[in-house]
Amino acid sequence: MVIFSLFKTSLLCQSVRLFDSTQFYCLTTMHNGAFCSYTGAAHSKREISRMIPVNQERLIEHFCQLVRIDSESMNEKAIAEALAEQLGDMGFTVHKLPVPEHISNGFNVYARLEGELEGSILLSCHMDTVAPGNGIEPVIEDGIIRSKGNTILGGDDKSGIAAIMEAVRLLKEQNQQHKTIELAFTVHEEGGLFGSEYFDMSYVTAQQAIVLDTGGPIGSIVTAAPGQQKIVATIKGRPAHAGLAPEEGISAIMVAADAINQMKLLRIDAETTANIGTVHGGQATNIVMPELKIVAEARSLNAEKLDAQVEHMITTFERVAEEHGAKVEIESSRAYNAFVLSDDHPHVVEIKQAFADIGVDAMTKGTGGGSDANNFNAKGLTTVNLSTGMSKVHTTEEFIAIADMVKITEFLTHYLAK
């Protein structure tokens, strides 16, 4: 919800002594009268005085501009070109990194802005959206941004892009010293993490990264995510006339049903899941089904458990097919690997402290889904995934609160200047 301030000054700070420590409570007004709050322990009054108010109007205007650019997976060229141009205008050194044509008609974007402070951080978001993501018209009501209801909104993941770019604009406007900022905007994350898989890491000098691509309260830090294995099983039976001589056939769907019935699926344990996603086969009702294609997956935070679940599924398909006199062809490939970071990892500790500095109680969590953070961790870049406040993603009911976008932008501004 947008709240309008009654204060006339641009920065009001009050310090109070609590148990021999000093906390500062600040209300900062923006040019449009909205205010953002800051509560938290600080190193000094000088540091607090540097809190930079977010230009909410510009942040939201840019976000709406981004979501209006059609960029469903594999069709990211327009938004990649737009972002490359905008980042260049902001002073970044920009590189357009090619990807295979079967992944996207666009390219990954790497951008770098040298900083005056010690350290470098890679910030990353994906540029693509799921369908229906063309012709998005954002609607703002009561501090909430939604689509008109016939498309997704695209806050996944353009809310992160808008927040990153607004934070950098604020730092530059205030001549605020900051870390060296590296950006990785990727194509085709949805459905496979392909952009980060093919991202040219030779440009990256940072040792740590932040992906902004999850939901939940601001301050949510994803420090654990599963690896995923894809399994494609093609069962080959024998056709026969279903009315005249069905006993002469071998029904591929009956083989599949028997195999699936004997599999451990869905929730296996706290760290592991498995699912049959799609089934395709059959020609007509009067033909015993000769062939069936099944696409399945397994996920786990534990690599050994993932391997064991995949082996269980494959051997079950093979054993049951043999019992029925059928054949099965199986393709199995690792989509991405798991990552797990401890709460006391220095990267996690620094991020939690930066959230605390702006009055946010950060929390670490695991997730059942993958993100570009999986691939960056696998490439040796210590990476967490932060919430931007996106909600009901991948649906036409998707929305995001303006207050959450402002808050994650505040975090980025503060973190980059620490």
Distance CA 55, CA 28 (A): 11
User: Quick check: 10 pLDDT over 50?
Assistant: no
Question: 126: phi > 0 → left, psi -120 to 50 → alpha, else beta; which?
Answer: beta
Beta carbons of 231 and 314 less than 8 angstroms apart:
yes
User: Quick check: 178 pLDDT over 60?
Assistant: yes
Report pLDDT for 50: 55
Distance CA 327, CA 315 (A): 13
User: Quick check: 12 pLDDT over 70?
Assistant: no
Output the pTM of the full model: 0.85
- The CA-based dihedral angle spanning residues 42, 47, 48, 49, taken in that order and rounded to the nearest 10 degrees: 160
Structural domains of the chain, with CATH: 1-51 (no CATH), 55-225+339-417 (3.40.630.10), 227-335 (3.30.70.360)
- Torsions phi, psi for 340 (to 5 deg): -140, 125
Q: How confident is the model at residue 15 (pLDDT cuts 50, 70, 90)?
A: very low
Average confidence (pLDDT) over 170-182: 97
User: Quick check: 66 pLDDT over 60?
Assistant: yes
Peptide bond into 98 cis (omega under 30): no
Burial class (CB in 10 A: 0-12, 13-18, 19+), 373: buried
Residue 313: both structure tokens together: 């599924």
Distance CA 72, CA 75 (A): 5
Q: How confident is the model at residue 25 (pLDDT cuts 50, 70, 90)?
A: very low
User: Quick check: 117 pLDDT over 60?
Assistant: yes
Which member of 189, 357, 372, 404 is catalytic?
189
pLDDT in tens, 385-416: 999 999 999 999 999 999 999 999 999 999 99
Report pLDDT for 88: 99
- Of 133, 151, 169, nearest in space to 59 by CA: 169
- Compute the half-sphere exposure of residue 318: CA atoms within 13 Å on the CB side of its CA: 10
Q: How confident is the model at residue 63 (pLDDT cuts 50, 70, 90)?
A: very high
Average confidence (pLDDT) over 365-376: 97
Report pLDDT for 275: 98
Distance CA 412, CA 168 (A): 9
Amino acid code (one letter) for 330 = I
Reply yes or no on whether 189 is catalytic. Answer: yes
**Mean pLDDT, the chain, whole residue set:** 90
User: Of residues 8 and 285, which shows the higher confidence score?
Assistant: 285
Reply yes or no on whether 258 is catalytic. Answer: no
Which member of 76, 128, 156, 197 is catalytic?
128
What length is written for the chain? 418
- Residue 82 makes CB contacts below 8 A (sequence gap 6+) with 66, 69
Report pLDDT for 7: 28
Q: What is the largest CA-CA distance in the chain?
A: 91
User: Quick check: 164 pLDDT over 50?
Assistant: yes
